[in-house]
Chain A
């Protein structure tokens, strides 16, 4: 499911086509040239003179010169064909769409901040590590980095772009097959570069529109006493100094937005599936699961932990 060989966008399909062409030509050249070399190494052709050196007749030498010149010419032709094919694809990929759904992606050590901008600030949707996109529509990522260089790549959807501090880069594609596509940071970004994954969820436009509309509406405040306790733990024991939850006073942007936390399939940037047990382990000691992670371990009593996790589980 997570492969360049299984393209799910016209862009990735075009590059895959280029790849298979290059692969075929490359294999022919690789084995062809080597086979010729082996044949040459095996076959006695020349004549050894009285000085025990090989002597090649002038005609033979001239013939060989023509063959080598021909081989060089063929190399140049193949490279030209290659260049034309590459440029024809490259110019298509390089065009920036005029109208596309724009999604802000910010790379952090070691998670992805996702924002769906809207002229109306209350319609703005913030999430993390899981990017929902509509199938069949152009999508453009506006890419920035908060700390060091990161790079985003979902093999099935094609293209890769660096997120560089001080620069804004863009990446666009159109998913044409619904599905969940995994990707992870490809530019070394420090200790936990290996665990900085994300998912792109390509879904039918109607479903996507529903998801986006729901995204800007916060969950109603809890009424249950356990959940209220959990929310208090969140607000008072440090969580709120990094995370935000829509509809509450927690507005910090250091860590991922947790407004609809339970709606995401994974936690810790794709490292763990989003289950209650994993969440508990994670909050207890993040560094045990992801050494070097910026999130500190909080000293919570079992009761506080239970309440906190129960509260987070309601953020659907």
Chain B
């Protein structure tokens, strides 16, 4: 008995030595060069989160400027040319440069931790995706500042966005910014799919995956199917129409103006769920943690996610009810649009059932969950209303739709995201966000959102169309618009409170410890912030809530080498240990290739030949990228906790 403390000390010393060795292997190199070559999963994800948040601030400022212009009838603050750029860049930023990448960035940070992996499947591809996204961000905002911002709406309907009615390069900017988002979203999606399927901790069979990880997996597949549609539409057909005078969308030459809308919305409607599903995936761990019980109806929730993803691809025509397409076809899309309310309803009922059986602590993340319910349910109901062809023909393209889509995206996307910030901020930074400021932020945000967007329903039905920079006093829209502007400024204030809270807490917040909420997920099993290698020992999972297991001992995997970036791969269904994989180290080539691709796409606006040049210089980079990541690979035997020996690579 007396030698136990000594053994304990020896074990701890072993762990410390192992940790130091792992850190030496996994850490990105320091210095500017090391910063540029970084591939560490959490480093890239952190940069992603910060950049996308800056995009949220930029998109928000554009919204505030628009609201100031619309506050009074016949206001002379912003002219039509600027205003049209503002609403286009606002939509493009929020959809392509904030919402989708932000949701994915949260996944890129959290998913490997949640499944107990050392890293992400393809770290260099991940870094490439990020740099590629940054090129798109810089491109859009430089264009806006030199008065070359796109001005035909984030939907860029042809023929308005075609060469005849949008000469110059503004729409080209839009088409290529979308390209950058497509590429980085696809990089992230592929990474997440492989990480979830092949890199889960042993024992985390498919039916034990956290709901958030399921949501990210489903969305990654949606991205793989949806993004190619818009890539074909914008990067290929629209860009070709504009650059080399093809006539895909030109009715005068046998093209079809309506074809664009089909292609765009085949992507555009799933896009909403690409934002919404990860967000509601964030709600489940928050509800579970603060009710201190497993979520009610895990299987139903996962199936609801998958069903939503399928139906999301069958609704796109409800954006086109006012076009001359056959009525019988329209009613099919009405029915489909209503059906999709069912899986969402199931999830909401399951959360309420979880709350009902629990004893919820109303922390700031939980407040945002309630804010989500209040705001999103309204957006969902107006969504069902808009599924009706007869009603949609009234409300389509009016402020009613503006109200609806903001209720859905703020309620169903931003509210859960803010909740998630409060919930996972301690994991990312090691410090807690301030609760008092958090509550202030919450109340200002919920009130601001409803004061801004609720009046817009009435404005829309009173005849106010979307995307107008001014309106006459005789329309009678002045009062409600002023109210909406006051609400928008309240939202701006709430975001400012959040910013202050985040910056203050990052530097001087209360220390969080590994698991401040006593949550159940694997991400809380490591330090806050997690080390470069995520876990000293890969954990072994025996239930859906590993950290709520009552046994004292947490089994782990040993035998992975710490002197190289070795990763344990497991089988797709049961997560049985399968083989080992050696991850690549840091490299400059992802950045180089991202810049070359940037030249390719941006150059293509000015000369089609830059595509050839861009491909040429990218190939050089890809050659070195592949060269560097080929490492010495040797077959080796490794012992697993169940005693099996594995020697495949």
Residues of A within 8 A of B355 (CB): 37, 40-41
Residues of A within 8 A of B331 (CB): 87, 90
Is B429 in contact with chain A by the CB < 8 A criterion?
no
B-facing residues in A18-67 (Cβ within 8 Å) = 18-19, 22, 26, 29-30, 33-34, 36-38, 40-41, 43-46, 48, 51-56, 60-61, 64-65, 67
- The verdict on A72 contacting B358 (CB below 8 Å), with A53-B293, A147-B165, A188-B157 known, is no
Residues of B within 8 A of A253 (CB): none
A-facing residues in B290-308 (Cβ within 8 Å) = 291-293, 296-297, 300
How many residues of B are in contact with the other chain, CB < 8 A?
86
Establish whether residues B322 and A151, one from each chain, have CB atoms under 8 Å apart when the complex forms: yes
- The verdict on A167 contacting B465 (CB below 8 Å), with A64-B296, A90-B389 known, is no
Residues of A within 8 A of B346 (CB): 68, 72
Establish whether residues B475 and A53, one from each chain, have CB atoms under 8 Å apart when the complex forms: no
Is B468 in contact with chain A by the CB < 8 A criterion?
yes
Establish whether residues B345 and A45, one from each chain, have CB atoms under 8 Å apart when the complex forms: no
Give A166's nearest chain B residue, CB to CB: B251
Give A272's nearest chain B residue, CB to CB: B472
A12 to B472: give the CA distance in the assembly, Å: 24
Is B324 in contact with chain A by the CB < 8 A criterion?
yes
Is A14 in contact with chain B by the CB < 8 A criterion?
yes
Which of B132-140, B375-383, B482-490, B632-640 faces chain A?
Answer: B375-383
Is A260 in contact with chain B by the CB < 8 A criterion?
no
Is A292 in contact with chain B by the CB < 8 A criterion?
yes
Establish whether residues B388 and A55, one from each chain, have CB atoms under 8 Å apart when the complex forms: no
Which of A118-126, A156-164, A219-227, A275-283 faces chain B?
Answer: A156-164
A-facing residues in B317-349 (Cβ within 8 Å) = 322-324, 327, 330-331, 334-335, 338-339, 341-342, 345-346, 348-349
Is A247 in contact with chain B by the CB < 8 A criterion?
no
A43 to B362: give the CA distance in the assembly, Å: 12
Establish whether residues B467 and A29, one from each chain, have CB atoms under 8 Å apart when the complex forms: no
Establish whether residues B352 and A164, one from each chain, have CB atoms under 8 Å apart when the complex forms: no
Is A235 in contact with chain B by the CB < 8 A criterion?
no
Establish whether residues B159 and A149, one from each chain, have CB atoms under 8 Å apart when the complex forms: yes
Establish whether residues A162 and B324, one from each chain, have CB atoms under 8 Å apart when the complex forms: yes
Is A263 in contact with chain B by the CB < 8 A criterion?
no
Residue from the list B258, B292, B396 in contact with A54, Cβ < 8 A: B292
Residues of A within 8 A of B374 (CB): 34
Residues of A within 8 A of B373 (CB): 33-34, 37
**Shortest Cβ distance from B328 into chain A, in angstroms?**
8
Establish whether residues B550 and A60, one from each chain, have CB atoms under 8 Å apart when the complex forms: no
- Most-contacted residue by chain B among A14, A44, A87 (CB, 10 A): A87
Residues of A within 8 A of B573 (CB): none
Assign chain A's interface to a size class: 35 or more
Establish whether residues B324 and A72, one from each chain, have CB atoms under 8 Å apart when the complex forms: no
- The verdict on A186 contacting B466 (CB below 8 Å), with A68-B350, A151-B322 known, is yes
A19 to B386: give the CA distance in the assembly, Å: 10
Residue from the list B81, B84, B349, B467 in contact with A71, Cβ < 8 A: B349
Establish whether residues A67 and B353, one from each chain, have CB atoms under 8 Å apart when the complex forms: yes
Is B248 in contact with chain A by the CB < 8 A criterion?
no
A55 to B291: give the CA distance in the assembly, Å: 10
Is A184 in contact with chain B by the CB < 8 A criterion?
yes
Is B418 in contact with chain A by the CB < 8 A criterion?
no
Give A197's nearest chain B residue, CB to CB: B472
Give A143's nearest chain B residue, CB to CB: B324
Q: Mark A65-90, 1 if CB is under 8 A from B, else 0.
A: 10110011001100100110011011
A38 to B366: give the CA distance in the assembly, Å: 11
**Shortest Cβ distance from A19 into chain B, in angstroms?**
6
Establish whether residues B292 and A52, one from each chain, have CB atoms under 8 Å apart when the complex forms: yes
Establish whether residues B80 and A291, one from each chain, have CB atoms under 8 Å apart when the complex forms: yes
**Shortest Cβ distance from A129 into chain B, in angstroms?**
14
Residues of A within 8 A of B542 (CB): none
Establish whether residues B463 and A183, one from each chain, have CB atoms under 8 Å apart when the complex forms: yes
